[in-house]
Amino acid sequence: MAQPPVLNLPLPLEAYGVDPLGGLLIYLALVVFLLTVLYTVGAPGWGQFLVLSFLLLVFALPLFAIDNVAVFYFLWELCALMCWAIGQNALGDSRDDNGVLPIQLAGGVGSLAVLACLVVLHVNSGATFSLSALRPEAAPWAAPVLLVAVLLKSLALAGYAWRGGRQPLAGASAALLMTAGISIIGIFPFAKLLIGVFGENADWRELCLWIGLVGAVVLALAALGEDDVRRSVAYVALVQVLLLFAGLALPYTQGLAGSLLILLGYTFASTTLFVAVSAAEQRAGERSLSKLGGLGAVAPGSAALFAVSGLALAGLPPLGPFVGQIVLASSLLRVQSPLPFVLYAAAVLLTVLCVLRLFRGLYLGPVAAAAVHSAGRRPSRLAALVLLPLLAAVALAGFAPFWATGVIEPVVSYLQR
């Protein structure tokens, strides 16, 4: 009998029942947790942020190890509740929901849809409570429903990321939710339920491919036309998430490897980008792109941070997920129709244009009045020091194929079982 793949990382999480994908996601979530907590030390609401973020990781660990259907859903909803609480804590006394209510409702619909699918699969699979024993033929219609539900739940986290709130906590919370939160609430359930249960069903894979690619283009266009800086950045981050989902749906080793490399680069580039936007908003006290400008003259560090992380997130070499995007693009060329590759290329190009538009609007041109009047509001020295390992991680992620083989290969093997 073949031995299960083992993740080549210091702590043997497999001994506690955590699969290689869960182990990778836990490590990435832990790194983001430590960096965002350090970045916000001393900020109003920091203690609550520390506790809630820690609880998110505490609930995620058994979620990644459990095989019981009922307990899996319960822990998944607990993690979602912690994400909601992190978003509420960042909001503080502000009541600026910034259009997030419809997104929250979509997330609620996603929760109910996942519950309904799991109940039907449980009943039609002989009332088994084991996730690994669920029979896909018991409810083949559940695969596309689960796919849409998980995507809606991930979209709800993006809504928390673009709301108003107190800085720098709002930026750090957005970074945590858009990286660790989406990994726990979106990526892992996607792999556990869809790849794990419905892996042989090609229909949901094709649907996921089209939803991911078309959705990425739509969100990139939305980001190009958005005046709210944080909402635009959230859209840009979601573009990468949808491309990642599309890659995971491909039945090729290249597609899976490319998606995992994108995940590594996305985690650090997205975290850094949200921190850079947080620093800019903290400095100017404004998030409307039409009212900003010239921040590069008064905050050159924030400008450099945004440029590096934004271009990394867009996949420009040699930073961030660019190798993963090349690998994923080569995998898309194996699909019979050329349209998936065209959509993918369009999404990447639009993302680059959006990052350049944001950089020009935030940091170039004449200095806006907001930047002049708010010159005293700067991130702390400790927050500035946290940016150094973030920038190093963004740079190292671009060379992941040279140092992360022992991490990527076991996860790909696990997903292909």
| pLDDT tens for each residue of 129-153 | 888 888 877 777 888 888 888 888 8
* Residues 168 and 211 both lie in one domain: no
- Is 100 in the same domain as 122? yes
The token pair that represents 161 in the structure block: 């990321």
359 within a domain of the structure (yes/no): yes
Question: What are the residue ranges of helices labelled H in 8-141?
Answer: 20-39, 46-65, 69-91, 101-124
- Domain termination residue (choose one: 169, 198, 227): 198
pLDDT value of position 23: 85
> Is 22 in the same domain as 38?
yes
Residue 2 lies inside a defined structural domain of this protein? no
pLDDT at 50 over 60: yes
Q: Confirm if 294 and 363 have CB atoms less than 8 A apart.
A: yes
Shared domain for 310 and 246, answered yes or no, is yes
Q: Do 194 and 211 share a domain, yes or no? A: no
**Domain-embedded: residue 166:** yes
Are 156 and 232 members of one domain? no
In a domain, 341, yes or no: yes
Q: What is the pLDDT of residue 376?
A: 44
Q: What is the pLDDT of residues 253-306, one digit of tens each?
A: 778 888 888 888 888 888 888 888 887 877 777 778 888 878 888 778 778 888
Range of the domain at 312: 201-417
d(CA 290, CA 368): 10
**Same domain? 263 vs 151:** no
Tokens at residue 207, please? 């649907």
Confirm whether 30 is domain-assigned: yes
- Treating both helix axes as pointing N-terminal to C-terminal, what angle do 381-397 and 20-39 enclose, rounded to 10 degrees? 150
Structurally, how many domains does the chain consist of?
Answer: 2
* pTM: predicted TM-score of the whole model, two decimal places: 0.88
What is d(CA 255, CA 270) in angstroms, rounded to the nearest whole number?
21
Q: What CA–CA distances, in Å, run from 296 to 216, 250, 361, 369, 394?
A: 29, 41, 10, 14, 21
Claim to verify: residue 147 and residue 118 sit in the same structural domain:
yes
- Return the closest-CA partner of residue 264 out of 109, 398, 68: 398
Residue 5 belongs to a domain: no
Residues 174 and 312 in one domain: no
pLDDT in tens, 338-368: 999 999 999 999 999 999 999 988 888 776 6
Flag whether 6 is in a domain. Answer: no
Rounded CA separation 202/256 (Å) = 15
Same domain, 71 and 112: yes
C-alpha span between 297 and 363 (Å, rounded): 7
Q: Domain ends where: 180, 198, 216?
A: 198
SS3 of 288, please?
strand
Residue type, 124: N
Do 162 and 210 belong together in one domain? no
Last residue of a domain, which of 145, 168, 198?
Answer: 198
